């Protein structure tokens, strides 16, 4: 198994590039790679190349085909859970194949994230993508109000679902269409407010259940994505 490293766009555009201090530390000190050793360099957007350590940095070699992505795009709109729970969501959902994650500040969100949180989430996504051998690093949006995010959604062919606990709604598994992109919203510990549910329905979101038990705000997006990934990959 070759080690994987997402590199910067500026590095990707050169045949030979200088390693950042962090990259040099990871490759040479943590992984103990020597000059001449190889690793897989990723641009984080789907492209991969074999790379080789040189005395001054690294050299990009042949292109590699990586086939670990889901066949559909899945965007999750996730109300921020309390504490550091969103970090677990970023890590697990990256492993499960999410395309993009939008942190939501909802009417009942308890956490008001500090500015440096976003950088940390994007780094967690990068490390998880490297570890699970993905070609794409999911995009993590800046936290935003749910209704503002709904208003900014671009028209697309993606099916839209809002996960609601304690409602008489069809199961997500029963309504998923294989091969169709999906946008899925999950709420905070206190649940969505009625105006948020109605706002989502107004822009085409279908209310769905994830089963009879009440899942934690951390569990719900992971459960929803697991179902979507299973349906997308089963054929």
The contact set with ligand SAM (CB under 6 A) reads: 163-166, 186-187, 189-192, 209-211, 213-217, 220
- Provide the CA 80 distance to its chain's centre, in angstroms: 14
The minimum distance between CB 228 and ligand SAM, in angstroms, equals 14
Residue 227 to residue 70: CA distance in whole angstroms? 12
The minimum distance between CB 152 and ligand SAM, in angstroms, equals 20
The minimum distance between CB 91 and ligand SAM, in angstroms, equals 18
The minimum distance between CB 129 and ligand SAM, in angstroms, equals 25
Closer CB to ligand SAM, 28 or 209, in the complex: 209
The minimum distance between CB 77 and ligand SAM, in angstroms, equals 10
What phi and psi values does residue 46 have, to the nearest 5 degrees? 120, -15
The minimum distance between CB 183 and ligand SAM, in angstroms, equals 14
Closer CB to ligand SAM, 112 or 166, in the complex: 166
Contacts of 219 (CB under 8 A, 6+ apart): none
Closer CB to ligand SAM, 179 or 190, in the complex: 190
Contacts of 52 (CB under 8 A, 6+ apart): 36, 37, 38, 39, 58, 59, 61
Residue 67 to residue 40: CA distance in whole angstroms? 14
**Contact between residue 141 and residue 105 where contact means Cβ atoms under 8 Å apart:** no
Q: Identify which of 103, 95, 128 has the alpha carbon closest to the alpha carbon of residue 185.
A: 103
The minimum distance between CB 178 and ligand SAM, in angstroms, equals 21
Closer CB to ligand SAM, 33 or 215, in the complex: 215
SS3 content of the chain, % helix, strand, coil (to 5): 35, 25, 45
**Contact between residue 24 and residue 56 where contact means Cβ atoms under 8 Å apart:** no
Closer CB to ligand SAM, 25 or 167, in the complex: 167
Maximum separation of any 2 CA atoms in the chain, in Å: 63
- Structure tokens of 118? 């976003």
Closer CB to ligand SAM, 45 or 216, in the complex: 216
Closer CB to ligand SAM, 210 or 232, in the complex: 210
């Amino acid at each position: 198994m070759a080690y994987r490293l997402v590199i910067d766009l500026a590095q990707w555009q050169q045949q030979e590039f200088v390693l950042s201090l962090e990259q040099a530390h990871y490759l040479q000190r943590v992984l103990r790679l020597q000059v001449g050793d190889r690793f897989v360099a990723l641009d984080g957007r789907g492209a991969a190349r074999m790379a080789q350590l040189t005395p001054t940095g690294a050299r990009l070699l042949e292109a590699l085909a990586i086939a670990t992505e889901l066949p559909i795009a899945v965007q999750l709109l996730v109300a921020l859970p309390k504490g550091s729970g969103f970090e677990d969501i970023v890590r697990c959902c990256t492993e499960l194949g999410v395309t993009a994650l939008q942190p939501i500040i909802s009417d009942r969100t308890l956490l008001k994230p500090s500015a440096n949180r976003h950088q940390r989430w994007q780094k967690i996504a990068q490390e998880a993508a490297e570890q699970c051998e993905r070609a794409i690093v999911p995009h993590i949006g800046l936290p935003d109000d749910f209704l503002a995010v709904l208003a900014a959604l671009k028209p697309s062919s993606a099916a839209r679902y809002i996960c609601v606990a304690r409602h008489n709604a069809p199961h997500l598994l029963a309504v998923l269409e294989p091969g169709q992109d999906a946008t899925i919203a999950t709420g905070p510990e206190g649940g969505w407010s009625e105006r948020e549910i109605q706002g989502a329905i107004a822009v085409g979101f279908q209310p769905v259940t994830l089963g009879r038990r009440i899942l934690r705000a951390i569990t719900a997006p992971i459960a929803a994505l697991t179902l979507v990934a299973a349906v997308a990959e089963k054929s």
